[in-house]
């Protein structure tokens, strides 16, 4: 690149239109900023630039923008926000591939804490509901567990890459601020732990947790979740698999009830 080209690039700027909200119970507003263009920059690096000098395009100095971020390499899941109307990870959203002005908004399916930061508690409550873990309390080393097939291992690995970012809930039309649908992430984690040899000990409990209100039957099959998942997890496949397990358990319960009725009625 010659000197003239370098000078032209240095004068370029990136325009942002960012949602600002001082507190959960406060009204929100948009503020506009401009930052110098840098080739290969992502949204997070631009937010850091604004943080260093939080001055709007009108020349007004304002409090720095608040957002969530940790790993900056699409692993922690904390920087998920709406970018130009689509939920994405801010750390992997490259400026060169976005139309300007770049509009940044918090996810709408979670309560706003401040600006772009939201409270993802509903996701962790959903994981509690489906017992998205392997219980080990009160156990001791019994030696190697059952062997797993390479097919199961590869499937479980993909499911385990969920970063609890909330993108699947944000894109889901069935998830609203005032309902308790667990969403695709928790359903997929239930599938993951039901495939685990030790996790299978609690598989029926997980399936039952998806049978009540807010469970797998609330899925509307829109398939938006699988389109926005940054880890490309086959969420719709997980939903179908858990739906099948729920159906089998419902049928099992019906037969058990019929057998119980026959036992109470007695012979003749």
pLDDT at 166: 98
d(CA 189, CA 114): 29
Judge whether residue 2 has pLDDT over 70: no
Judge whether residue 103 has pLDDT over 90: yes
Mean pLDDT of 243-265: 86
pLDDT at 42: 97
The highest-level CATH class for domain 121-260 is: mainly alpha
Query: Omega before 25 cis (within 30°)?
Result: no
Judge whether residue 21 has pLDDT over 50: yes
State pLDDT tens for residues 233-248: 999 999 999 999 999 9
Order of strands, sheet of 80-83, starting from the edge strand that comes earlier in the sequence: 29-36, 13-20, 102-105, 80-83, 86-89
Where would I find the beta strands (DSSP E) of 37-189?
80-83, 86-89, 102-105, 112-114, 117-118
| First vs last C-alpha separation in the chain | 96
pLDDT at 23: 96
pLDDT at 144: 79
Tell me the average pLDDT of the chain: 92
CB 134 within 8 Å of CB 199: yes
Write the DSSP symbol of residue 161: T
State pLDDT tens for residues 194-249: 999 889 989 999 999 999 899 999 999 999 999 999 999 999 999 999 999 999 99
Mean pLDDT of 134-156: 85
Mean pLDDT of 126-143: 86
CB 256 within 8 Å of CB 204: no
CB 78 within 8 Å of CB 70: yes
Taking each continuous run of H as one helix and of E as one strand, the counts in the chain are 9, 7
pLDDT at 212: 87
Instruction: Give 118's contacts (C-beta < 8 A, 6+ positions apart).
Output: 68, 106, 107, 110, 111, 112, 166
**CATH code for the domain defined by 12-118:** 3.10.20.30
Annotated domain spans of the chain: 12-118, 121-260
Mean pLDDT of 162-191: 97
pLDDT at 262: 76
Nearest to 103 by CA among 28, 32, 208, 180: 32
Judge whether residue 187 has pLDDT over 60: yes
């Amino acid at each position: 690149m010659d000197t003239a080209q370098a000078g032209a690039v240095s004068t370029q700027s990136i325009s942002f239109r960012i949602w600002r909200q001082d507190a959960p119970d406060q009204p929100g507003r948009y503020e506009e900023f401009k930052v110098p263009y840098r080739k290969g920059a992502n949204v997070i690096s631009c937010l850091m630039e604004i943080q260093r000098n939080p001055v709007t395009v009108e020349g007004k100095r304002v409090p720095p923008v608040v957002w969530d971020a940790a790993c900056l390499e699409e692993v922690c899941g904390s920087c998920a926000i709406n970018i130009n109307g689509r939920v994405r990870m801010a750390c992997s959203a490259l400026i060169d591939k976005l139309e300007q002005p770049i509009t940044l908004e918090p996810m709408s399916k979670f309560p706003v804490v401040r600006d772009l930061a939201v409270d993802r508690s509903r996701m962790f409550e959903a994981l509690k509901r489906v017992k998205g873990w392997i219980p080990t309390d009160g156990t001791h080393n019994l030696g190697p567990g059952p062997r797993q097939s390479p097919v199961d291992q590869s499937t479980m690995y993909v499911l385990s890459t969920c970063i609890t970012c909330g993108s699947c809930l944000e894109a889901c039309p069935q998830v609203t601020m005032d309902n308790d649908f667990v969403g695709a992430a928790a359903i997929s984690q239930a599938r993951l732990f039901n495939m685990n040899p030790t996790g299978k000990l609690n598989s029926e409990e997980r399936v039952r947790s998806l049978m009540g209100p807010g469970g797998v039957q609330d899925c509307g099959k829109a398939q938006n979740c699988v389109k926005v998942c940054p880890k490309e997890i086959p969420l719709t496949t997980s939903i179908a698999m858990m739906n099948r397990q729920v159906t089998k358990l419902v049928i099992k319960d019906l037969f058990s009830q019929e057998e119980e009725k026959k036992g109470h009625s007695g012979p003749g």
